[in-house]
Amino acid sequence: MEQNETKLKIKVDKLDLYYGDFQALKAVDMDIHENKVTALIGPSGCGKSTFIRTLNRMNDLIDSVKIEGNITYDGTDIYRGYDVIELRKKIGMVFQKPNPFPMSVYDNVAYGPRTHGIKNKAQLDEIVERSLKGAALWEEIKDRLHRPALGISGGQQQRLCIARVLAVEPDVVLMDEPTSALDPISTSRIEDLIDELKMNYTIVIVTHNMQQAGRISDSTSFFFEGVVIETGPTEEIFFNPRNKKTEDYISGRFG
């Protein structure tokens, strides 16, 4: 279908992940396509957050984690072909709760570029404006750039966190339940934003909100007990899933 017309951005091949003796992911295969939104759904503890964190090597920080299988990004193995800092610049992450740094709005967005060596004020101004515009926050916040980021609303904070990711010019944006702490209006803003972002970025999103997965994603994968039970075009998953387990989960029969 449409999926095949765009380039393969991330390929996951037989991924096993263990936390000590516990196997959290079992032989996960997944193709993530460029400029598409891929939704990961499944009940709590199914492995979807573990999976998304593996895509930019966030699980490296946990000692007991053992990973087998392959993940390639643009054809290169993410564990052998990339420095982890370089990888996370390319593959950014937005978390469930907005987590702005305790500094100004401006400094939050400029933090990443400064870390990567950009000191020039005009250049930073340009990056901050472009990133906040990209996150659909500029018009609301342009007169308050030097106010504390913790003083803006939760929905604005989450868009600020998206702007912070965009500031380092990533290629892929991972989102782990980005709207679960937000009200419906802020949620709609983020969903509209995701729809715009996919023109320039590849997006992978974990969500507990079935309707959200239905609204915003092109492809949906259903995780259960560490296994990908079913992957397909989102409209097929929600209208005519092949697997009974998928059907039971999306229609709220369990989970």
Altogether, the residues listed in the chain come to a count of 255
Determine contact, residues 238/214, Cβ cutoff 8 Å.
Answer: yes
By CB under 8 A, residue 44 contacts other proteins: no
By CB under 8 A, residue 45 contacts other proteins: no
By CB under 8 A, residue 1 contacts other proteins: no
By CB under 8 A, residue 42 contacts other proteins: no
Segment 161 to 220, residues that bind other proteins, using CB under 8 A: 210-211, 214
CB neighbours (10 Å) of residue 203? 23
Site stretch for other proteins (CB under 8 A), options 56-64, 116-124, 171-179, 243-251: 243-251
d(CA 86, CA 172): 13
Is 116 or 253 the residue whose CB approaches other proteins more closely? Answer: 253
d(CA 189, CA 195): 10
Site stretch for other proteins (CB under 8 A), options 38-46, 107-115, 168-176, 232-240: 232-240
By CB under 8 A, residue 252 contacts other proteins: yes
By CB under 8 A, residue 241 contacts other proteins: yes
Single out the residue of 12, 91, 105, 250 in contact with other proteins (rule: CB under 8 A). Answer: 250
Q: How far is the CB of 222 from other proteins (least distance, A)?
A: 12
Is 22 or 239 the residue whose CB approaches other proteins more closely? Answer: 239
By CB under 8 A, residue 117 contacts other proteins: no
Q: How far is the CB of 17 from other proteins (least distance, A)?
A: 28
Instruction: Report the interface residues with other proteins, using CB under 8 A.
Output: 210-211, 214, 238-241, 247, 250-254
